[in-house]
Chains A and B, each alone.
Chain A
Amino acid sequence: MNAVKLVAVFAENKPGQTARVTRILAHANLNIRWVTIASVGAFGVMKFLVDNAQLAYEALKHEGYVTTLLEVLAVEVSDQPGALHAVAECLAFHQINLENTSGFVANQRAILVLEVSDLARAREILQQQNLRVLTREEMLTL
């Protein structure tokens, strides 16, 4: 199964940074499907889901950005209250650390993006709970 990959970029918190990064991705003909940005004081980390993570990684690196690729789990949950709680509780029960979570709704489908310490085990556990873990291809054709 192809895991969903995000591109993480280190960015200084100064005017025009987001625009510069997204311009680089646009010039590489990459489509941004989803983004999350966390910033603390003078800097931040942007994470992108794009149609070709490897290409995005190389384009950003070429422009001098410190960039890494990371694998995440994309889980489809029912679009109703308590969905995230159920997933979090299930992972906590199996002592899997949830490092970062975000989510979005697309075409009436609620998707959680999970960054966890042990990806393979987390996937197994979630699948045992009859939750749908999306492949890279599925995620890009939502």
Chain B
Amino acid sequence: MNVFDHRHELMPRGELEQLQLERLQALLARLKRHVRRYREKLAGLNVESVADLARLPFTTPEEMAESFPYGFFACPMREIIRLHTTLGPQGKPLVIGHTRNDLSQWGRLAARQLAASGVTANDVIQVCFGGGAYGSAGYLFGAQVLEASVIAEEPAHADYQIAMLRNYRPTVLITTPTMALELAEVIEQRRLDPQSLQLRTVLLSRPVDRETRDRLAAGLSAPVQCNFGLGEILDPGLCVACPAGTFHLHEDQFLAEVQNGELVLTTLCREALPLLRYQTRVACELVQGKCACGRSGVQIVPGPRLDGRLRVKETPFYETQIAEVLAHTRAAGQPFTLKVSERHIVVSLELSEALFADTVWFVENLKRQIESDFLARLNLVAEVRFVNPRSQAVPDETGGPTLSPPETGRPLIQS
């Protein structure tokens, strides 16, 4: 077991609970003093034990979105040195601030993950998040803490990434599942030997199922670990994924609860944006016990999103955002349905008489315009299909030609 911060990661239970209580009490004091929204909610409330957390009020993503951008900040702006944004409820942005201490803490928490994956100062790390995926910042801080070498270049195309893997000989690859699958596919197509790469470990930005993990481990010839994080809390740096694939929560930093199947998190140490009992909108199970890796304590078993958040490749979005993009086009207000798969989204959009001019080119142009709007506004490669209003109710007839001229009993010439 590789451990970066022995004192905090392997703290005896009793000592840990004492530390949690002290930090929770300090958190309450800070919230009451510095955040107006919490001052009212927390008036007269105190905690004598960590279990008292259950008596404290929740914080919702909707409240955070309402207070956009800085309503929940607990520090004056001059102490905040970094602003990140993350996707909030129904696609509304949330601003996540960091003080200098927050950033160095983030680095140490990400370093726990890297160390657990066996990364040391001798490693060379290639970080490839591709366009649109956020979140490489935490890994860079973590690598810096461990003094590992980071290749400060992030080519978008799989070919260039493979060239980098072969030229720079990185030992660690940190990337998204989409990118990792693409790399594995290209390596297979080109008949390259994945063992000729020097990869010792691959770290994925979000969880994937067992089958995908095994496929990637074989395709890239290295053990694969996944991260689980939340943009509003910390991503990466919320927990450590051990070689057994378990997510071990950083309990000295975060308190986790499950309420009606939903993961609820409290940040104990964050300065700029401390959150009390934040409802994450992610389904979750918490497991207590000893893991095969030797760690004990709280394990997170994350489930699906509970708020209808969708994802294609690495781009998260909500159905309301699709409607919003359409609202800016000539197809505003037209009913639509979505078909979302891992790498593809089809927006079936009802055509109307007002939108239909009688040529295919007109409809084709409209389709292209809307598709480019999806890319520009949501960074989403979507396929738009126009449909007749009632056709979704009409089942497809099988057999028969698609669009071909019917018999009219006359010779047909077309110029």
Q: A18 at interface (Cβ–Cβ under 8 A)?
A: yes
Interface pair A15/B359, CB less than 8 Å apart: no
- Residues of chain A contacted by B386 (CB below 8 angstroms): 10, 12, 42-43
Interface pair A12/B358, CB less than 8 Å apart: no
Q: Decide if the interface of chain A is mainly helix, strand, loop or mixed.
A: strand
Interface pair B390/A68, CB less than 8 Å apart: no
Bound together, the chains give a CA A66 to CA B349 distance in angstroms of 12
Bound together, the chains give a CA A100 to CA B357 distance in angstroms of 13
Q: Which B356-415 residues have C-beta < 8 A from chain A?
A: 356-361, 363-364, 385-391, 393-394, 396-406, 408, 410-415
Bound together, the chains give a CA A67 to CA B411 distance in angstroms of 25
Q: B49 at interface (Cβ–Cβ under 8 A)?
A: no
Interface pair B401/A18, CB less than 8 Å apart: yes
CB < 8 Å neighbour of B359 from A14, A45, A84: A45
Interface pair B403/A10, CB less than 8 Å apart: no
Number of interface residues of B (CB under 8 A): 39
Q: B148 at interface (Cβ–Cβ under 8 A)?
A: no
- Residues of chain B contacted by A63 (CB below 8 angstroms): 390
Bound together, the chains give a CA A106 to CA B291 distance in angstroms of 84
Bound together, the chains give a CA A119 to CA B405 distance in angstroms of 27
- Residues of chain B contacted by A1 (CB below 8 angstroms): none
Known contacts A43-B363, A105-B411; decide if A66 and B402 are in contact (CB<8 Å): no
Interface pair A44/B403, CB less than 8 Å apart: yes
**Distance of A33 from chain B, by nearest CB (Å):** 7
**Distance of B414 from chain A, by nearest CB (Å):** 5
Bound together, the chains give a CA A105 to CA B412 distance in angstroms of 7
Interface pair B360/A39, CB less than 8 Å apart: yes
Q: B352 at interface (Cβ–Cβ under 8 A)?
A: yes
Interface pair A12/B359, CB less than 8 Å apart: no
Q: Nearest B residue to A112 by beta-carbon distance?
A: B415
**Distance of B337 from chain A, by nearest CB (Å):** 13
A residues bordering B, Cβ < 8 Å? 6, 8, 10-20, 22, 32-47, 61, 63-68, 70, 84, 99-106
- Residues of chain B contacted by A35 (CB below 8 angstroms): 405-406, 408, 412
Bound together, the chains give a CA A42 to CA B237 distance in angstroms of 45
Bound together, the chains give a CA A14 to CA B400 distance in angstroms of 9
Interface pair B402/A18, CB less than 8 Å apart: yes
Bound together, the chains give a CA A37 to CA B408 distance in angstroms of 13
Bound together, the chains give a CA A88 to CA B154 distance in angstroms of 54
Interface pair B406/A12, CB less than 8 Å apart: no
Interface pair B414/A103, CB less than 8 Å apart: yes
CB < 8 Å neighbour of A15 from B352, B397, B408, B414: B397
Interface pair A15/B396, CB less than 8 Å apart: yes
Point out which of B398, B399, B400 has the most chain A C-beta atoms below 10 A from its C-beta: B400
- Residues of chain A contacted by B391 (CB below 8 angstroms): 12, 64
Bound together, the chains give a CA A11 to CA B400 distance in angstroms of 15
Point out which of B355, B359, B399, B406 has the most chain A C-beta atoms below 10 A from its C-beta: B406
Interface pair B351/A66, CB less than 8 Å apart: yes
Can you list 9 A-B contacts (CB < 8 A)?
Answer: A11-B388, A11-B403, A20-B397, A35-B412, A64-B391, A64-B393, A66-B356, A70-B358, A105-B413
CB < 8 Å neighbour of A17 from B389, B393, B403: B403
Q: Nearest B residue to A64 by beta-carbon distance?
A: B390
Interface pair B364/A40, CB less than 8 Å apart: yes
- What sequence of 0s and 1s flags, for each residue 326-359 of chain B, a beta carbon within 8 Å of any chain A beta carbon? 0000000000000000000000000111011111
Interface pair B414/A66, CB less than 8 Å apart: no
Known contacts A10-B388, A68-B353; decide if A47 and B406 are in contact (CB<8 Å): no
Point out which of B394, B399, B401, B408 has the most chain A C-beta atoms below 10 A from its C-beta: B408
Extra contacts besides A45-B358, A67-B353 (12): CB < 8 Å: A13-B403, A14-B402, A15-B402, A17-B403, A33-B408, A36-B414, A37-B405, A44-B403, A45-B359, A102-B414, A103-B415, A104-B410
